[in-house]
Chains A and B, each alone.
Chain A
């Protein structure tokens, strides 16, 4: 816990870093083309979802494979509420309602989530994905069935996040990607600060206590089933927001996207990034989202990877990406159970110590930690 709080004490340099990062992120649309911006959009959407799953699985220790379902509720909720057929609400209202709808879906499932633990919960949430997929396929009038529906672009006070109207800023034409980039940044910042606030405040402490020992937490006065359910609802709302962002960036939602594979992707993100950390979840989300897209783009320049479309037993770019992150999950859990976040933290500690004579214990950035330390690692 103490190292998590240390960030608060290191005042000014940290502030400058934050400002620098924000400036760079805001300047990017002026320099990057649509391909890179789209990667950024998907990564930001995934990061929001991953932060939500991180709260649930990393912090509260509840294994969930149902994240794809809540993403779908958010995405389809927005499309239905804002579109035709549907109530045709103003798009901004529809987006907010879609997030609340995802939260409500999480709330409906919380009688199960509050009582069922560990691996049982993992499989129970698995059911959500399959049942949800079935509903998406069959409820034609709402979801458009197998072919899905196209997504109405978001409008905020007369400003449309699409390429319909001409807009040029500082000589750079602003299409849908550029506009959505800033929306994504704003929503991601919202997620980042609310999630960190939650984790550092009372609820976060309660959830960590719950993960480490339910009995001890209950004795300390944590209302076990209420906090379990609340974690589920909040995580679903983040997923719903991510779903809305994904829908806006894809401009079309189809049922097959929201399958078990997507849930597993999100689990991979938080495991690779490091459980229980917002920054880790973000890093994992960028890694898992950007990797297949980048490999597809640069397939012809990579060794051992065939260009997309070639068949006959060769390794395509998407497959290569999946091999890589499957292996990343296994290797990270075996050798660095606290993920990228933990690696960075240890590296930083090592750099700081370089001026002083290096203690023998902290020489390698990826040591297999002592068994006693490993038992304390956050686990889903």
Chain B
């Protein structure tokens, strides 16, 4: 029973972190129709900045700077590379998706070169301390991950719901032309969405690199790719769907990893790829994800 609770808690924490990343994907997809393959390297960039700055600025200062810089990089990438390449026509989104792959190669190559084979510590305040929660012992960093993610995600949803930016974003996701005619400044709305997604990724990097993970390595960005299945499961255009998808993915991964000895038929380390297996199964049954609506096609 304790093992089960342990695993469930791990799953929750993982899901909470994936949710930060997946929410970023979904915001970007809603605002621009682009699948951002550079998200993993944005996350790595955030983590790297926190890691190199925390000696001088302290953890909070470093995190603040890295969140701002990553947001700026994401925004600049959208404004100067993606929006420059074609307007709002539907084919442009596909081309821009591939542009993000190019950007990903650039950022990832540079960061891998800088990080090399090192494990960078992010200097987070939780260290390797643990607390007892009823019958289970959990790492403080995991509790922090859940708490921070919940607060931040609630904040993002409030942004969607109550601010004029959120309203504009939802309007332009619904119908670009109508939104433009209503005076929504699409360029700016879209760029802000990318900034927000970048900031979320930088924040998520902290928890992906914190205990019990060994630290930030150059493959940390690839872990973020698991947020892809999470976002897809929920149906790319639905933020609540992304949350549900993230929890499902986190739980799957934690449970499969936790009960690995009983699942040895599937091979060692199946937990790492279980999210993808779940995604393929879901896509077989529902090609647009669990929460994705059927897109109307106009001829």
- Chain A positions near chain B (C-beta within 8 angstroms): 61, 63, 111-112, 115-120, 122-124, 126-127, 130-131, 133-135, 137-139, 213-216, 260, 264, 267-268, 271, 311, 313, 315-316, 319, 322-323, 325-330, 333-334, 337, 371, 374-375, 377, 379-380
Contacts and interface: CB of A to CB of B under 8 A. Distances in A.
A267 B97 CA distance: 12
B106 interface: yes
A215 B228 contact: no
Nearest to B113: A319
A138 B222 CA distance: 20
A123 B287 contact: no
Contacts, number: 145
A118 B94 contact: yes
Interface string B72-103: 00000000010011110101101101110111
A120 B287 contact: yes
A215 B102 contact: no
B269 interface: yes
Contact of B99 (A134, A325, A333): A333
A330 B106 contact: yes
Interface centre among B89, B91, B288 (most CB of A within 10 A): B91
Contacts of A330: 81, 99, 102-103, 106
Task: List the 4 closest A-B pairs by CB distance, nearest first.
Answer: A138-B267, A329-B102, A326-B105, A127-B276
Contacts of B94: 61, 63, 118-119, 379-380
6 contacts: A118-B94, A123-B35, A126-B228, A216-B299, A319-B113, A326-B109
B276 A313 contact: no
Interface string B255-284: 000000000001111101100110110011
B91 A379 contact: yes
B280 A124 contact: yes
B273 A322 contact: no
Given A130-B273, A138-B268, A330-B99, A120 B283 contact: yes
Contact of B85 (A326, A334, A380): A334
A316 B280 CA distance: 38
Given A215-B299, A329-B102, A137 B267 contact: yes
A150 B179 CA distance: 60
B101 A329 contact: yes
Contact of B106 (A127, A214, A267, A327): A327
B102 A131 contact: no
B133 interface: no
A329 B85 CA distance: 12
B113 A313 contact: yes
Contacts of A377: 91, 95
A268 B86 contact: no
A100 B135 CA distance: 55
Of A61, A337, A379, most B-chain CB atoms within 10 Å: A379
B246 to A, nearest CB: 15
Nearest to B103: A330
Contact of A214 (B103, B273, B297): B297
Contacts of B84: 334
B114 interface: yes
Nearest to A320: B109
A322 B107 CA distance: 10
Given A127-B277, A379-B95, 14 more contacts: A120-B288, A127-B276, A134-B267, A138-B266, A138-B267, A214-B297, A264-B105, A313-B113, A313-B114, A329-B105, A330-B102, A333-B85, A337-B95, A377-B91
B225 interface: yes
B116 interface: yes
A134 B273 contact: yes
B98 A333 contact: yes
A375 B86 CA distance: 8
B279 A124 contact: yes
Contacts of A334: 81, 84-85, 99
A329 B98 contact: yes
B229 interface: yes
Nearest to A126: B228
B177 to A, nearest CB: 15
Nearest to B106: A326
